[in-house]
Amino acid sequence: MHDLSCFADRAFDVIYSSHTIEHAYYPHRVLDGLMRTLRDDGELIVVLPYPDMGTENDPAHGAKYELGTNRDDGGAQVTRFFTRRGLRLTARTFDSFREPEIWLRLARIG
């Protein structure tokens, strides 16, 4: 996820990311790469642990602070992370089948 250079620009109609971005060293760079490969009318579906209130210095989920999943605010901060970068929220749901998580459906603003 840190190097998507093997994919062409605007290669995908849909990108599904489940329990990955919270592990990124630089989640904004990962999102930049996803946005580059997503078509103008494309959809990004993101599933993240939420709220991610685990150990304060959890190195496995180091991106939770930049993403905003470390806050139990109804998903407001994590949604802003994506909408400030050229995506429009189309759906936000919460689930606890595997663990507490947030599902975001986002459309690329083309």
Q: What pLDDT score was predicted for residue 21?
A: 97
Considering only CA atoms, which of 40, 34, 31, 30 is closest in space to residue 15?
A: 34
Whether the CB-CB separation of 29 and 21 falls below 8 Å is answered with: no
Domain membership of residue 83 as a residue range = 12-108
- Identify the helix (H) or strand (E) that includes residue 17: strand 12-18
Adjacent-strand bridge partners of 17: 46
Spatial neighbors of 5 by CB under 8 A, at least 6 apart, are: none
Residue 56 lies in a domain: yes
Total number of domains in the chain: 1
Whole-structure pTM value:
0.93
CATH number of the domain at 90, please: 3.40.50.150
Residue 33 lies in a domain: yes
Q: Which residues of the chain have pLDDT under 70?
A: 55-57
Q: What pLDDT score was predicted for residue 55?
A: 66
Q: What pLDDT score was predicted for residue 59?
A: 80
Q: What pLDDT score was predicted for residue 10?
A: 97
d(CA 82, CA 95): 19
